[in-house]
Structure 1
Amino acid sequence: MTHMKFHEFAAGGIQLAPGPLKERFQLNKKYVMSLTNENLLRNFYLEAGLWSYSGNGGTTSATTTSMDGPENWHWGWESPTCELRGHMMGHWLSAAARIYKQTDDNLVKAKADFIVSELAKCQEAIGTGFLAAFPETYMHRIVSGKWVWAPHYTVHKLLMGLHEMHVLAGNEQALRMMAALADWFHRWTDSFDRQQMDDLLDLETGGMLETWAELYALTKETKHRDLIDRYDRRRFFDALLEGQDVLTNKHANTQIPEILGAAKAWEATGEIRYRHIVEAFWKCAVEDRGYLATGAGDDAELWMPGTDMTRMGAGQEHCVNYNMMRLAHVLLRWTGNPIYADYWERRFVNGVLAHQHGETGMIAYFLGIGAGSQKKWGSATQHFWCCHGTLVQANAAYQEQIFLQDEQGIAIMQWLPSTLSAVVDDAIIRLSIRQDGQNGLYPLQAWNVEGMTAITKVDVPPMPVHRPNSFIYEVKLSLASRKPFCLKLRLPWWVHGNTLISINGVQQQGNWQPSSYAELHREWAEGDIVRIELPKTLTAELLPGETEMYAFMDGPIVLAGLVEEERRLVGKKDQLDSLLVPDRERNHSWWNPGYYRTKGQDRGFRFIPLYEIKDETYSVYFPIEPREGE
């Protein structure tokens, strides 16, 4: 058994608190449930020979689809003419399983269970154990070196969805289907020598290593261990272990799932080489390369060189963002190092929140940061980019990273309003994180009575004149009986100044630093309240490879300037109040973090948080030059 510093709590034990973040979850759930069974299954039915038109005078086969016309079908990457068809199914199953585990909504489970049962019929009709929305010939084509658009990728998504339907939703049929598909792949690869297998993996591998490791962790069957060995992409992994940069200008969203596979292989087998591969990748992809203010090291799905990230073309991809967050969470569990939670937070605020339209719930495939960028939003049924799939997964599961546990107690890793209900050493413990109504990150902030009280009552402490430069949280504990343990609080990288922590109103003393933990050891009791004030400030981050191009951040929030072209700012980069001043600070009963306007420029313009951009044209990086004579 591999050693890990932190462990996750049981799925479903962490719930989002009411508020905008929970509303995003519900918006995602609504979208997931709006996709009809017939449309999700159509291409699988077609491939299995189980679909026929059932209209006036038509015949009905064992399985039929809706009589809706093509205008209501799924198109884009789910079109019957697209080689990637069927990829959305796996993402959908994964999202449905996660939503069910969060909500106990039996309608979600019933819909997902039905779809699994229909997929089982398709697998049985195909008759070989294979299951996909495309023919087996695609696999034969890639092994002969002929290009096909990512069949391994598509099958991996399906296997991942079946795995989560089994683990999270208790669907036993899904595990049997995984095993049958694994049998097919074991037979198919049985005659390949190592060179043939390596050539195949160089052409296309998706995240197959991850699902074989997940399956082996469940079954411990030799043939599933064989598949781990066969899908070990040695040419890529060995080059990483040798310290080579085999990432620059390579397809990031091909490589990250392979590394997630190595991570799962280490956890399933204990073979240390796999852990070293993951660590070597992170060093090459993040530590040596650096990243943009959003956390991204990719543009147009390709890794940018660490010495020059100035090209700023299409922008970061949502799938890369999501998968790098997954990898950061893995390394956080392994090592306990809070820098991985810092990275996850940066990617969450300026990736997950920024890629999703806050009103429609739709996805922006790329998120540009160059001058004159604009988000292009996908539609509900006409695009089905890969990012539609990671959209529904990401927004069904971000609560899992908030709380973790170790041998000493409980750690709060992400400051997201939520509640943990767990059994620790046979004791029932409940922790809730509440964001202060007047000192919080707006996308996570619910409209509340506290805000109305602040603007109506006169016998309450006075409000500050201007927007506060801190985020304040309260952690409330509920225990049946007193219990000693350590409560770890992650202090984010963006903290600027003295963190203030009190327990039941008593100020605590500690030399707390950013990117570390405040460790509170005590015997906790029912009703204990911990108050944490995290001070922030406006900062400027240099564009890697440049000497004068900067992005502005308000704490963890990347700011977007509302301009259509590059604007040169004049002022002192180390005295940002010479460039920007707070703007539109107040919105009725809450403060607006991340709103600024320029100061002393020829043409003034405004900045708003990148995650609030919808259809506006914007820029993130700006050249700064000193004023004449300074």
Structure 2
Amino acid sequence: MKRKRETCMMAKWIMGLMIASLASLAHAQDTRQHFAVAPTQPAELFPLSAVRLLSESQLSAAVNANREYLLALEPDRLLAPFLREAGLEPKAESYGNWESSGLDGHTGGHYLSALSLMVAAGADTSDGELNRRLDYMLDELERCQNADGGGYIGGVPGSRELWTKVAAGDTGAVWNKWVPWYNVHKSFAGLRDAYLVANKEKGRKLLVRLGDWCVRVTADLSDDQMQSMLNNEYGGMNEVMADIYSITGDKKYLKTAARFNHRAVFDPLIAHQDRLTGLHANTQIPKIIGMERIAALIGDPREHDGARFFWDTVSKNRCVAFGGNSVREHFHPSDNFIELLKDREGPETCNTYNMLRLTEQLFTADPKAVYADFYERAFFNHIISAINLDKPGYVYFTPIRPQHYRVYSQPENCFWCCVGTGMENPGRYGQFIYAKANDGVYVNLFIASELQVNDRFAIRQQTAFPYESVTRLEMKLKQPQELTLYLRHPEWVKTRQLTVKVNGQPVAVESTPSSYAAVRRLWKQGDVVEVELPMHTRVERLPDGSDWVALLHGPIVLASPTGTKDLPGSFADGARMGHVANGPMVPLDEVPVFFATDQELPRHVVRDPSGKPLHFRVKDVVSPDSPGGISLKPFLSLHEQRYQMYFELTSPEKMSALKEQRAEEDRTRATREAATIDQITIGEQQPEVEHDFKGEDTETGMHEGRKWRHGSIIQYTLNTRGEKAAELEVTYWGGDSGRAFDIFAGGTKIASQELTGDQPGKFISIRYPIPAMAFADAKDHTLTVKFIATKWLAGGLYDVRLMKPTR
């Protein structure tokens, strides 16, 4: 009888929940209504319109800064590339920077998404200006689509010629443009978000017609042609085409989506093989989002397992303490983080934006706390920290090199990829705080907010987390309702230390770190749940196990502010690589280290005398000795200054031996940088785009931890920076053989090089004097360098740089 009553009660509860869903408030409308096909999964994220950040939330300032940035942009300037490619007269001049150098239009797609997200999140202006701009953008893009006649919407320069070639089978044409599928993906994603997030019916119409265009362009391509083309970055084209299938139910879109699955990347993941080293990181993550989206729609366990393996591999083996990954945009060896530690180009914010989107999808398929733990870490320490609140701007690279700094975008000057995702992030802050369970609600993040579950039930969460270690959830119900509240027990709260009270009375819960504490009861109006989340200071090594460590208190990464002097370019101009913090790097032999083990170090971290929350000092183990120790603050609060996030654990004996070695390494590096006029990081996307890479029959790969490129023709354009004399320095692998090629500078042949394999086991660098006549042909301070094979291949090239002449 008891089981029968429970079954009856559950049936009534489920029926009540279904009725409540049908009668939901307009602003908490279930987005499932937009889909003809939707997977049944154990968890579902609430629509953004159902979650509101409270005004006291620390995130509100970031939302306000984002709104200010969005309003500083002019829609007609963002629309100019789309009108140009549609054969219409632009109403304003295109923006500069990436918007006028080949990636024209990508920001417009991000802007559609950002406006949609902010409107849905209730973050519009009081007079609805963001919503008005969204409608205007859609109206103008409709004009473009109608003028094109084929359904296309995009700003890729020379669009008509490019896509005609691709449709005819010349898939190599994509390499003559700057990642065109990636660019068009932003249009797809913006239109999708306008429909699914902001409920704009016109967004659906434009999206489906754009999807039809994509189907036609790829219809006659063979599988080999498609797979070859997918070596060029294509964003999440598989995801958005799968979304169109989900919206329409038409399987032609699903078929096209699957054709964008990059087998060279996917198949090793399905086989649980990590072959990510050397790959451009943010090229891969959106592919995997699409991989998981398709797997969910068709119920493919193998593809889902591959996506999960990718997430496990990146989050556990390739991420630093704040949740970011990669160096100079590429995955480095997972067993060696030294290049990331030394470099000025640390993890890219776009990577983390996309890792969180993947995390959301994997959580809905399998709602485990491990996903929420990673989300919290990356959200608080990277995403929130990557927007400047006082002078709104977004961060591209976050170096972990000790005592370096970051660069912020400016609305008139900067149109990087991380500007696009940066303007989307604040509108998404409410996305993962809560999730629907089959029998209740997951509380994933501790953020002051209110969730409207349906028109009869809301949850109001009040907290100053992470500046306090408690959160309170108040139930707001029109009538009592039975359900389970799943409260996350974070991985940083020790066993038996998470405590729960309901209306002031302790409640027994069974949970362990990285799990959920389930509290099921008949909830009534005004019930209050109080959750204590004791935080402790802990040490975390880099994933390679080296002696470089970060300090965290709870989930919050602590860093030492190290000054505001010498921060050139911290607010970027329109320079192509202005997102890189190119100021001087502090030599590693001069930064503080700790004479302690990882077990001993937490005992030397004490509360700062100021008494401010999450402010600490490290005492007694710092070298060079610092009276009073060194200050630690939440990294998310440090802006416009140098900082140290990672510290080396060592001993006086080890330090004595290392100090001179590091000083010599830094002197060598500094001397080489001073002599370098311009340099290309071979095989890496942004540096090669910056240097106008062109080639024939080229390939790129990784050897001994360094990227190479070879081919029948390889060409780059270098900046002479006004110099009238220089030498070309090229690095090769000494074991390469059977290759010969001529080298040209500015149209003048400067050398013939043959690689004979006579210096195996090491890299060799050769300098070639450049004659004055080559500089005479240089225009606008640029010099074209070309390698043409005369026997088999030109290269492999590992490094190419223009150097001041040796004396």
TM-score by length of 1: 0.86
Q: Is residue 2:201 matched to residue 1:172?
A: yes
Judged with a 3 Å threshold, the aligned counterparts in structure 2 of structure 1 residues 166 and 576 are, in CA distance, closer, same or farther, namely: same
Name the CA shift for 1:90/1:567 in 2 (closer, same or farther; >3 Å). Answer: same
How far off its partner does 1:255 sit? 0.5
User: Match for residue 430 of structure 1?
Assistant: 458
TM-superposed deviation, 1:318: 0.4
How far apart, CA to CA, are the structure 2 residues paired with 1:322 and 1:195? 31
CA 584–441 in structure 1, closer or farther in 2 if over 3 Å, else same: farther
* 1:187-336 matches, cutoff 5 A: 187-287=216-316, 289-312=317-340, 313=343, 314-336=345-367
Residue 114 of structure 2 is matched in structure 1 by 95
In structure 1, C-alpha distance between the alignment counterparts of 2:599 and 2:310, rounded to whole Å: 34
Residue 625 of structure 2 is aligned to residue 625 of structure 1: no
Please give the residue correspondences for 1:460-475 in structure 2 after superposition, counting only pairs within 5 Å: 471-475=469-473
Which residue number in structure 2 is paired with residue 9 of structure 1?
Answer: 46
For the 8 Å contact 1:310–1:545, the answer to whether it is kept is: no
Change (3 A) 1:358 1:341: same
**Counterpart code for 2:601:** L
**Deviation (angstroms), 1:242:** 2.2
Which runs of structure 2 are paired with 1:150-549 in the superposition (5 Å)? 150-287=179-316, 289-312=317-340, 313=343, 314-423=345-454, 428-435=456-463, 440-442=465-467, 471-496=469-494, 498-549=497-548
- SS of alignment partner, residue 401 of structure 1: coil
Verify the 8 A CA contact 1:247 1:284 in the aligned structure 2. Answer: no
Identify the residue that residue 83 of structure 1 maps to in structure 2.
Answer: 102
Residues in 1 aligned to 2:391 and 2:40: alpha-carbon distance in whole angstroms:
42
Mapped contact 1:129–1:184 kept (Cα < 8 A): yes
Change (3 A) 1:168 1:544: closer
Alignment of 1:542-557 (within 5 A): 542-557=541-556
Compared with structure 1, are the counterparts of its residues 126 and 430 closer, same or farther at alpha carbon in structure 2 (3 Å cutoff)? same
Matched, 1:137 2:161: yes
SS in 2 for 1:353: helix
Of the structure 1 ranges 87-96 and 597-606, higher mean CA displacement relative to structure 2 is found in 597-606
1:403-455 deviations in Å (ceiling 9; x for gaps): 111122111011011001122xxx7111111115xxx424xxxxxxxxxxxxx
Q: Relative to 1, partners in 2 of residues 1:222 and 1:410: Cα closer, same or farther, differing over 3 Å?
A: closer
CA distance in 2 between partners of 1:327 and 1:398 (Å) = 15
Corresponding residue SS for 1:319: helix
**SS of alignment partner, residue 299 of structure 1:** coil
Q: Give the Cα separation in 1 of the matches to 2:40 and 2:145.
A: 38
Q: Measure the CA separation in 2 of the matches of 1:428 and 1:536.
A: 35
> Percent identical across equivalent pairs?
28
Runs of 4+ in 1 over 6 A off after TM superposition: none
Q: Is the 8 A contact 1:487 1:521 kept in 2?
A: yes
Query: Does the 8 Å contact 1:2/1:266 carry over to 2?
Result: no
Residue 671 of structure 2: aligned partner = none
Moved more, 490-499 or 247-256: 490-499
* Alpha-carbon distance in structure 2 between the residues aligned to 1:557 and 1:403: 20
Q: Report how many residues are paired.
A: 572
Q: Which stretch of structure 1 is more off in the superposition, 251-260 or 167-176?
A: 167-176
Q: Deviations over 1:247-266 (max 9, x none)?
A: 11211100000011112112
Q: Distance in 2 between matches of 1:319 and 1:358?
A: 19
Cα distance in 2 for residues equivalent to 1:234 and 1:280:
15
Matched residue SS, 2:374: helix
Give, in whole Å, the separation in 1 of the partners of 2:509 and 2:257.
Answer: 47
* Whole-angstrom distance in 2 between the partners of 1:260 and 1:600: 44
Is it true that 1:599 corresponds to 2:624 in the alignment?
A: no
Q: CA deviation at 1:280?
A: 2.8
Q: Which residue in 2 is equivalent to 1:581?
A: 606
Cα distance in 2 between the residues matched to 1:171 and 1:402: 25
- Letter matched to residue 10 of structure 1: P
Superposed displacement of residue 616, structure 1 = 1.5
Q: Deviations over 1:326-352 (max 9, x none)?
A: 111111111111000000000011111
Q: CA deviation at 1:394?
A: 1.1
Q: Which residue number corresponds to residue 460 of structure 1?
A: none
Aligned equivalent of 2:637, options 609, 612, 615: 612
SS at match of 2:649: strand
Cα pair 1:29 1:396 within 8 Å, conserved:
no
Residue 269 of structure 1: how far off its partner (Å):
2.9
**Equivalent position amino acid for 1:485 in 2:** L
SS in 2 for 1:535: coil
| TM-score in terms of structure 2 length | 0.68
Unaligned runs of 5+ in 1: 53-63, 443-469
What is the Cα deviation at residue 243 of structure 1? 2.5
Give RMSD over aligned pairs: 2.1
1-structure distance, mates of 2:501, 2:201: 48
Distance 1:187 1:624, change over 3 A: same
**Runs (5+) with no aligned partner, structure 2:** 1-37, 563-585, 654-807
Shift of the alpha carbon at 1:582? 1.8
Match for 2:172: what amino acid?
Answer: S
Higher RCO (CA 8 Å, separation ≥ 6 residues): 1
Could you tell me which amino acid in structure 2 is paired with residue 366 of structure 1? F
Deviations 1:509-565 (A, max 9, x none): 234322111111111111111111100111111122243221111111111123454
> What CA distance in whole angstroms lies between the structure 1 residues aligned with 2:609 and 2:182?
46
Q: Deviations over 1:244-296 (max 9, x none)?
A: 22211211100000011112112333333432331232233234x25311122
Q: CA separation in 2, counterparts of 1:577 and 1:155?
A: 49
- Pick the structure with greater CA Rg: 2
Q: In structure 1, how many angstroms separate the alpha carbons of the residues matched to 2:258 and 2:436?
A: 32
**What's the CA shift for 1:200?**
0.8
Instruction: Specify which structure has the higher proportion of strand.
Output: 2
